Structure 1
Amino acid sequence: MAERQFLGQGSNTSWEKFWYVLGCIYFGAAYFQKVPVKKALSEYGLVEMTGAEKFWYVVQCILFGAGYFAKVPVKRALSEVRDPNGVFGGQPPAGYQAPGYQAPGYPTA
Protein backbone atom coordinates (compact mmCIF):
# COMPACT_ATOMS: atom_id res chain seq x y z
CA MET A 1 0.00 0.00 0.00
CA ALA A 2 1.30 3.45 -0.90
CA GLU A 3 2.16 5.95 1.79
CA ARG A 4 -0.61 8.49 2.40
CA GLN A 5 0.03 11.89 0.89
CA PHE A 6 -1.58 15.24 1.60
CA LEU A 7 -2.52 17.99 -0.84
CA GLY A 8 0.41 20.27 -1.46
CA GLN A 9 2.83 17.95 0.34
CA GLY A 10 2.86 14.95 -2.00
CA SER A 11 5.84 13.49 -3.74
CA ASN A 12 6.50 11.37 -6.80
CA THR A 13 8.58 8.23 -6.91
CA SER A 14 11.62 8.21 -9.15
CA TRP A 15 9.69 6.03 -11.64
CA GLU A 16 6.75 8.45 -11.69
CA LYS A 17 9.14 11.32 -12.41
CA PHE A 18 10.82 9.28 -15.17
CA TRP A 19 7.54 8.39 -16.90
CA TYR A 20 6.25 11.96 -16.65
CA VAL A 21 9.39 13.34 -18.30
CA LEU A 22 9.24 10.63 -20.95
CA GLY A 23 5.57 11.47 -21.54
CA CYS A 24 6.42 15.17 -21.93
CA ILE A 25 9.15 14.37 -24.44
CA TYR A 26 6.63 12.45 -26.54
CA PHE A 27 4.98 15.56 -28.08
CA GLY A 28 4.15 16.96 -24.66
CA ALA A 29 1.43 14.35 -24.10
CA ALA A 30 1.84 14.15 -20.31
CA TYR A 31 1.92 17.95 -20.00
CA PHE A 32 -1.23 18.33 -22.11
CA GLN A 33 -3.00 15.71 -19.98
CA LYS A 34 -2.06 17.60 -16.82
CA VAL A 35 -3.47 20.96 -17.98
CA PRO A 36 -7.23 20.11 -17.67
CA VAL A 37 -6.58 18.53 -14.26
CA LYS A 38 -4.90 21.73 -13.06
CA LYS A 39 -7.86 23.72 -14.44
CA ALA A 40 -10.24 21.63 -12.32
CA LEU A 41 -8.01 22.06 -9.26
CA SER A 42 -7.76 25.81 -9.88
CA GLU A 43 -11.56 26.11 -9.95
CA TYR A 44 -11.56 24.73 -6.41
CA GLY A 45 -8.84 27.18 -5.36
CA LEU A 46 -6.25 24.46 -4.77
CA VAL A 47 -3.65 25.59 -7.34
CA GLU A 48 -2.87 28.51 -9.61
CA MET A 49 -2.36 27.91 -13.31
CA THR A 50 0.61 29.45 -15.09
CA GLY A 51 0.10 31.65 -18.14
CA ALA A 52 1.25 28.81 -20.39
CA GLU A 53 -1.22 26.38 -18.81
CA LYS A 54 -4.07 28.86 -19.27
CA PHE A 55 -3.07 29.31 -22.92
CA TRP A 56 -2.91 25.57 -23.62
CA TYR A 57 -6.23 25.00 -21.85
CA VAL A 58 -7.90 27.50 -24.18
CA VAL A 59 -6.26 25.84 -27.19
CA GLN A 60 -7.49 22.45 -26.00
CA CYS A 61 -11.02 23.81 -25.59
CA ILE A 62 -10.96 25.26 -29.11
CA LEU A 63 -10.01 21.81 -30.44
CA PHE A 64 -13.47 20.19 -30.14
CA GLY A 65 -13.66 20.96 -26.42
CA ALA A 66 -10.96 18.41 -25.55
CA GLY A 67 -9.69 20.40 -22.56
CA TYR A 68 -13.17 20.94 -21.17
CA PHE A 69 -14.21 17.31 -21.60
CA ALA A 70 -10.98 16.14 -19.94
CA LYS A 71 -11.64 18.49 -17.00
CA VAL A 72 -15.23 17.35 -16.31
CA PRO A 73 -14.47 13.90 -14.78
CA VAL A 74 -11.69 15.35 -12.60
CA LYS A 75 -13.95 18.09 -11.33
CA ARG A 76 -16.67 15.51 -10.64
CA ALA A 77 -14.22 13.41 -8.61
CA LEU A 78 -13.13 16.49 -6.65
CA SER A 79 -16.77 17.31 -5.88
CA GLU A 80 -17.04 13.93 -4.15
CA VAL A 81 -14.03 14.45 -1.86
CA ARG A 82 -15.01 14.22 1.77
CA ASP A 83 -12.92 15.96 4.40
CA PRO A 84 -13.70 15.43 8.09
CA ASN A 85 -12.63 19.01 8.85
CA GLY A 86 -14.91 20.47 6.17
CA VAL A 87 -12.05 22.33 4.48
CA PHE A 88 -12.48 20.78 1.03
CA GLY A 89 -16.16 19.82 1.19
CA GLY A 90 -17.54 23.35 0.95
CA GLN A 91 -16.71 26.73 2.36
CA PRO A 92 -13.64 26.63 4.58
CA PRO A 93 -14.09 27.42 8.26
CA ALA A 94 -13.88 31.08 9.24
CA GLY A 95 -10.28 32.24 9.33
CA TYR A 96 -8.94 29.27 7.36
CA GLN A 97 -6.02 29.96 5.06
CA ALA A 98 -4.41 27.23 2.97
CA PRO A 99 -0.64 27.13 3.45
CA GLY A 100 1.12 29.12 0.73
CA TYR A 101 -2.03 30.06 -1.20
CA GLN A 102 -4.81 32.56 -0.66
CA ALA A 103 -7.91 31.76 -2.69
CA PRO A 104 -9.93 34.80 -3.74
CA GLY A 105 -12.81 35.63 -1.47
CA TYR A 106 -11.69 33.49 1.47
CA PRO A 107 -11.09 35.21 4.77
CA THR A 108 -7.51 35.60 5.96
CA ALA A 109 -6.33 34.82 9.45
Structure 2
Amino acid sequence: MAERQYLGQGTSTSWEKFWYVLGCIYFGAAYLQKVPVKKALSEYGLVEMTGAEKFWYVIQCILFGSGYFAKVVIKKALSEVRNAGAAQVG
Protein backbone atom coordinates (compact mmCIF):
# COMPACT_ATOMS: atom_id res chain seq x y z
CA MET A 1 0.00 0.00 0.00
CA ALA A 2 1.31 3.43 -0.91
CA GLU A 3 2.16 5.93 1.79
CA ARG A 4 -0.25 8.90 2.00
CA GLN A 5 1.12 12.10 0.49
CA TYR A 6 0.11 15.71 1.01
CA LEU A 7 0.11 18.61 -1.44
CA GLY A 8 3.52 20.22 -1.55
CA GLN A 9 5.10 17.38 0.41
CA GLY A 10 4.74 14.47 -1.99
CA THR A 11 7.62 12.36 -3.14
CA SER A 12 8.31 10.40 -6.29
CA THR A 13 9.78 6.94 -6.41
CA SER A 14 13.01 6.38 -8.29
CA TRP A 15 11.05 4.81 -11.15
CA GLU A 16 8.59 7.72 -11.31
CA LYS A 17 11.50 10.15 -11.55
CA PHE A 18 13.12 8.00 -14.25
CA TRP A 19 9.95 7.81 -16.38
CA TYR A 20 9.27 11.54 -15.99
CA VAL A 21 12.76 12.43 -17.23
CA LEU A 22 12.42 9.94 -20.08
CA GLY A 23 9.03 11.48 -20.93
CA CYS A 24 10.57 14.96 -20.98
CA ILE A 25 13.33 13.80 -23.31
CA TYR A 26 10.74 12.40 -25.73
CA PHE A 27 9.72 15.74 -27.33
CA GLY A 28 9.00 17.26 -23.91
CA ALA A 29 5.77 15.26 -23.70
CA ALA A 30 5.79 14.79 -19.92
CA TYR A 31 6.61 18.46 -19.32
CA LEU A 32 3.89 19.65 -21.69
CA GLN A 33 1.34 17.37 -19.98
CA LYS A 34 2.24 18.91 -16.63
CA VAL A 35 1.64 22.50 -17.78
CA PRO A 36 -2.22 22.41 -17.87
CA VAL A 37 -2.24 20.73 -14.44
CA LYS A 38 -0.14 23.54 -13.00
CA LYS A 39 -2.42 26.10 -14.69
CA ALA A 40 -5.47 24.56 -13.01
CA LEU A 41 -3.69 24.44 -9.64
CA SER A 42 -2.55 28.04 -10.06
CA GLU A 43 -6.13 29.17 -10.65
CA TYR A 44 -6.96 27.67 -7.24
CA GLY A 45 -4.01 29.52 -5.72
CA LEU A 46 -2.12 26.32 -4.89
CA VAL A 47 1.01 26.91 -7.00
CA GLU A 48 2.70 29.58 -9.08
CA MET A 49 3.61 28.89 -12.67
CA THR A 50 7.07 29.71 -13.97
CA GLY A 51 7.50 32.00 -16.95
CA ALA A 52 8.27 29.00 -19.16
CA GLU A 53 5.13 27.18 -18.01
CA LYS A 54 3.00 30.26 -18.75
CA PHE A 55 4.58 30.52 -22.19
CA TRP A 56 3.97 26.87 -23.06
CA TYR A 57 0.39 27.05 -21.75
CA VAL A 58 -0.36 29.93 -24.13
CA ILE A 59 1.30 28.06 -27.00
CA GLN A 60 -0.77 24.96 -26.23
CA CYS A 61 -3.95 27.03 -26.21
CA ILE A 62 -3.17 28.92 -29.42
CA LEU A 63 -1.89 26.07 -31.55
CA PHE A 64 -4.15 23.19 -30.66
CA GLY A 65 -6.35 24.17 -27.70
CA SER A 66 -5.11 21.13 -25.83
CA GLY A 67 -3.82 23.16 -22.90
CA TYR A 68 -7.21 24.71 -22.24
CA PHE A 69 -9.18 21.48 -22.70
CA ALA A 70 -6.82 19.54 -20.42
CA LYS A 71 -7.12 22.28 -17.78
CA VAL A 72 -10.94 22.12 -17.88
CA VAL A 73 -10.96 18.43 -16.93
CA ILE A 74 -8.43 18.97 -14.14
CA LYS A 75 -10.36 21.92 -12.70
CA LYS A 76 -13.54 19.81 -12.69
CA ALA A 77 -11.77 17.11 -10.69
CA LEU A 78 -10.35 19.70 -8.28
CA SER A 79 -13.78 21.28 -7.77
CA GLU A 80 -15.19 17.87 -6.82
CA VAL A 81 -12.40 17.31 -4.31
CA ARG A 82 -13.05 20.67 -2.71
CA ASN A 83 -16.81 20.09 -2.61
CA ALA A 84 -16.35 16.64 -1.11
CA GLY A 85 -14.15 18.13 1.61
CA ALA A 86 -16.74 20.83 2.38
CA ALA A 87 -19.51 18.21 2.53
CA GLN A 88 -17.56 16.19 5.10
CA VAL A 89 -17.01 19.23 7.33
CA GLY A 90 -20.64 20.34 7.29
TM-score (norm 1): 0.75
| Residue in 1 that maps onto 2:31 | 31
**Where does structure 1 differ by over 6 angstroms across 4 or more consecutive aligned residues?**
none
Helix, strand or coil at the partner of 1:11: coil
| Residue in 1 that maps onto 2:63 | 63
Q: Which runs of 5+ in 2 are unaligned?
A: none
Helix, strand or coil at the partner of 2:21: helix
Larger Rg: 1
RMSD: 1.4
Alignment length, in residue pairs? Answer: 86
Asked which structure has the greater RCO (Cα within 8 Å, sep 6+), the reply is 2
| Residue in 1 that maps onto 2:11 | 11
Percent of aligned positions that are identical = 84
Aligned amino acid, residue 32 of structure 1: L
User: Per-residue deviation at 1:63?
Assistant: 1.4
Q: Which runs of 5+ in 1 are unaligned?
A: 87-109
Helix, strand or coil at the partner of 1:60: helix
Question: Within 1, Cα distance between the matches of 2:65 and 2:34?
Answer: 15
| Residue in 2 that maps onto 1:52 | 52
Aligned amino acid, residue 2 of structure 2: A
User: Per-residue deviation at 1:34?
Assistant: 0.2
Higher helix share: 2
Deviations 1:38-76, CA, capped at 9 Å, x for gaps: 000000000000000000000000013110011111110
| Residue in 2 that maps onto 1:80 | 80
User: Per-residue deviation at 1:2?
Assistant: 1.0
